[in-house]
Amino acid sequence: MAIRDFNGQRPRFGSRVYADETAVLIGDIVAGDDVSFWPQSVVRGDVARIQIGNGSNVQDGCMIHGTHKGPYTEDGFIVSLGEGVTVGHHAVLHGCTLGNYCLVGTASVIMDGVVLEDRVMLGAGSLVPPGKRLQEGFLYVGSPVRKFRPLSEAELEMLKYSAQHYMSLKDQYLG
C-alpha cells in the first residue's frame, strides 16, 4: 500500500486496520480500529483532515478528499465518517460528514458541506449536492438525491451487518 506523508502529516491508524496494497493513503488521515481500505481506494488528506471511525470500510475505487481553506470556502471542509460506515465501490466523498452506520451506495457522490445523520442509506448512483442534510433513518436516491422512504427494521439491522461483514472480511485478509 502507498502510505505517504504530506506537509509533515502522516496517516495514523488504530489497531487491526487493513489497507490493500493498491490503496493510496496520503497526509492527515486518522482511522480508528478495524477500518478497511480496499483495492484502488484513494484517501487524500493533503488539504484537509480525513477522519474515519471504528469499523468503517472504504471499498474498491473510492475517492475521499477534503476541501481546502480559501476565498470560496473560508474554513474548508474536512471529511468525517462515524463508526460502522460502509462506503460502496467507486463512491466519491468530498468535504462531507457521515454519521454512524451509514451506507453509501455504489458510485454515489457526496459533496462539500453535506451531512448524513446516523443510519442513512444512500442508493447507488446518487448525487448529494453541496450543503444538504439527510435525515436519520431514511433511504435517499437519485441525482440529485431525494428522500425516498423510511428504512425498515431489517434495513436498519443490515447497516450494522454490513460493517460487521467487512470487519470479518478484512480479518481474513490480515490472516
State the pTM of this model.
Answer: 0.96
User: What is the average pLDDT value for the chain, to the nearest integer?
Assistant: 97
CATH number of the domain encompassing residue 113: 2.160.10.10
The residue assigned the cell 454490513 is 162
Residue 2: predicted pLDDT: 87
- Give the chain's domain count: 1
The residue assigned the cell 490472516 is 175
The residue assigned the cell 433511504 is 139
The answer to whether 62 and 42 are in contact (CB under 8 A) is: yes
Work out the angle at residue 27's Cα, subtended by the Cα atoms of residues 21 and 30, and round it to the nearest 5 degrees: 85
Taking the mean position of all CA atoms in its chain, how far away is CA 156? 18
Amino acid letter, residue 11:
P
- The tens digit of pLDDT for each residue in 82-123 reads 999 999 999 999 999 999 999 999 999 999 999 999 999 999
Say whether the peptide bond before residue 129 is cis (omega within 30 degrees of 0).
Answer: no
In terms of C-beta density within 10 A (0-12 exposed, 13-18 middle, 19 or more buried), how is residue 107 classed?
A: middle
Residue from 152, 134, 31 nearest 83 by CA: 31
| CA dist., res. 55 & res. 32, Å (int) | 7
Instruction: Please compute the mean of the pLDDT values over residues 151-157 and round it to a whole number.
Output: 98
Q: With pLDDT > 70 as the criterion, what percentage of the chain qualifies?
A: 99
Instruction: Please compute the mean of the pLDDT values over residues 132-160 and round it to a whole number.
Output: 98
- Per-residue pLDDT band for 41 (boundaries 50, 70, 90) equals very high
pLDDT at residue 1 above 80? no
pLDDT at residue 5 above 70? yes
pLDDT at residue 12 above 80? yes
* Owning domain of residue 24: 2-174
